Copies of this chain bind each other. A is one copy, B any other.
């Protein structure tokens, strides 16, 4: 042992292999394999099978998943494509997914694309190389040639929180339209008539969806249907939300409430209110979307639309599992119900505390 040689030696016990089990049980590896696999167990003598199982347990045998994947081209693994793991919206979805996947004997390979299409492409390729059997994709661009191609090739795939326009990829998404309607109706009931909208990027299906729903809702409720009141944020971030709100204000748009495409955008509005001394909800009411964690602790606590994160994930996983079992199936879209949770960021316009409604 030289002075440099400090690290622990590799003393990891070599894992037991199939052949070890076979030898110990006095059978051929092929027989052991058949005995161990529930699907082929009937091909082997019941006593022999029992013995093999027993020995395998004693030796603590676990099949080598790598060898298995090489041989069968199946890995018992699915890929999770997440646009941004630091967005608190996604981890609960991941939990939901895993809660369904694991009882089915599958594990999830999580990749974070950082919202970068190139990175997404390369990470998905690497997932494919690693023989994932299916993909759950949470990145929300509307067009995605690469993924579309994969799906067309028969790669089992389900989209969460996103829908591809003219393509029949199964997806599970929150009922965006209903959420927006609930938000707008809530504001209308409070007495608002001029409601603005800060939508997410129209390049994302969610952004497009919610904005469209907003337009319809406002029209259906006979509220001000003024194009000047709807803007689009460049991305799903606080900064983008702030920019959009500033733009709305600077354009001297008249509104007393704003419905945003998601909570982050709403937080951006908060920032602008602080900058400009605008009182929320005194002068402007705000409704977010998603119900991220910790929103109830904000100043003011944000009124928002709650989406059932866990259920979204769980349903997506179930759908994928289904799709992997019976690949020939028509694509379904699952819409999960959302609920408005009213907190402190919404109030009647120009309420009794003496602040005037915001006009420009």
Q: Which residues of A pack against B, CB within 8 Å? A: 4-13, 15, 62, 64-67, 69-70, 75, 85-86, 88, 91-92, 94-95, 98, 107, 109-110, 112, 125-126, 129-131, 150-155, 267, 270, 293-294, 297-299, 323, 326-330
- Contact between chains at B129 and A64 (CB < 8 Å): yes
Q: Which residues of B contact A323 (CB under 8 A)?
A: 7
Q: Quick one: which of B69, B86, B129, B152 contacts A95, CB cutoff 8 A? A: B86
Q: Are B91 and A154 in contact (CB under 8 A)?
A: no
Q: 28 A-B contacts, Cβ less than 8 Å apart?
A: A6-B330, A7-B154, A7-B323, A9-B154, A11-B154, A12-B153, A13-B153, A15-B129, A62-B125, A62-B129, A65-B129, A65-B130, A66-B69, A66-B75, A70-B70, A85-B94, A86-B91, A86-B92, A88-B88, A88-B293, A91-B91, A94-B112, A267-B294, A270-B297, A294-B294, A294-B298, A297-B298, A297-B299
Residues of chain B within 8 A of A328, CB atoms compared = 4-7
A10 B95 Cβ-Cβ under 8 A: no
Residue of B nearest to A302 (CB): B297
Contact status A155-B298, CB under 8 Å: no
Other 15 A-B pairs with CB < 8 A, given A6-B328, A7-B326, A299-B299: A6-B330, A7-B154, A8-B151, A8-B152, A10-B154, A11-B153, A12-B154, A62-B125, A64-B129, A66-B69, A85-B85, A91-B91, A95-B112, A267-B294, A297-B298
Q: A323's closest neighbor in chain B, by CB?
A: B7
Are the C-beta atoms of A107 and B91 separated by less than 8 Å? no
Would A66 and B131 count as touching, CB distance under 8 A? yes
Q: Which residues of B contact A129 (CB under 8 A)?
A: 15, 62, 64-66
A91 to B83, CA, bound (A): 12
Q: Are B7 and A152 in contact (CB under 8 A)?
A: no
A327 contacts across to B, CB distance below 8 A: 7, 10
CA distance A152 to B66 in the complex (A): 24
Top 7 nearest A-B pairs by Cβ distance?
A10-B154, A7-B328, A299-B299, A12-B153, A86-B91, A85-B91, A7-B327
Provide the residues of chain B in CB contact with A11, threshold 8 Å: 152-154
Residue in chain B with minimal CB distance to A271: B297
Complex Cα distance A338/B44, Å?
63
Task: Contacts A66-B70, A112-B95, A131-B66 given; indicate if A297 touches B5 (C-beta within 8 A).
Answer: no
A329 — which chain B residues lie within 8 A by C-beta? 6-7
- A9 to B, closest residue via Cβ: B154
A232 to B11, CA, bound (A): 39
CA distance A8 to B75 in the complex (A): 21
Docked CA distance A12–B152 (Å): 9
Of A5, A8, A11, the most chain B CB neighbours within 10 A belong to A8
